[in-house]
Structure 1
């Protein structure tokens, strides 16, 4: 039996980090909001004495949830820049890097490796989700904002499933 003290114990790092990164690519603030929700309810000893330990604070989780909700509303507003515009893409990359680094570190892994997985995953998900959103809009004739509401549902449902999976 593998336990946390067993030398063979290796908590899941890659796939959950990639899951959080995918969410960051779709909605940049949803991934940190979901991760801080998890970490504030199930803090990790591995984040203590790390700058990332702030992500375990309930007030941070609450604040990020509010910002994530605001982002979902703002996404549908006319005149919002494309998610692949350099400053917006950088924000998604940084969001993915943050959640990847925090997840890896919380699971006794390398924050650097997690940051790379998260950042690269978020950039890939940004382009893929935009292409999918445009294609769904073109094929269905639905307005991009309406398709964005569906994307919000995917982010929320996917985030809930991810949180359930990581326990």
Structure 2
């Protein structure tokens, strides 16, 4: 099944909304593995081993930090801004790879970052309160969804 590239830009932004560093880490992995092609673009640095290592470390750190009780909500200004920026970056990379409008990729990725942040927050909160599942369990499922969803999206490029 072929997905429209601009839809993928929005959806990778949604991944950033769930876990802000996961989307760029997955985009770096896809670029490094040549699933997407960023050579000769302003984002060609994303297909380097240093970028892949850095974003992967940030993503792992975020997976750990998300489980801590003092971690602020993703909808708080600093978390939301991070999701907008990383969603926009990730969306731009997918758009550039497909030869589409960089601005459209940025805007759709950023919009996905906002949508994913609020949807993820309310769905997680609702699941914890309605099902009485521990937050940790719901958070791990959310992690797995962000990782598998992000990998699925970049594999459609």
TM-score, with structure 2 as normaliser: 0.91
Which residue is equivalent to 1:89? 80
Q: Which has the higher contact order (CA 8 A, sep 6+)?
A: 2
Structure 2: tracts of 5 or more residues without a match: none
Q: Which has the larger radius of gyration?
A: 1
User: How far did residue 63 of structure 1 move?
Assistant: 1.8
User: How far did residue 57 of structure 1 move?
Assistant: 1.0
Q: Structure 1 residues 139, 49: CA separation in 2 closer, same or farther (over 3 Å shift)?
A: closer
| CA distance in structure 2 between the partners assigned to 1:58 and 1:162 by the alignment | 21
Runs of 4+ in 1 over 6 A off after TM superposition: none
User: How far did residue 12 of structure 1 move?
Assistant: 4.1
* Correspondence 1:4-83 to 2 at 5 A: 12-42=4-34, 44=37, 47-50=39-42, 52-83=43-74
Root-mean-square deviation (CA), in Å?
1.6
User: How far did residue 41 of structure 1 move?
Assistant: 1.4
**2:147 is equivalent to residue 159 of structure 1:** no
Q: How many residues align?
A: 154
Structure 1: tracts of 5 or more residues without a match: 1-10
Deviates more, 1:100-109 or 1:122-131: 100-109
TM-score, with structure 1 as normaliser: 0.86
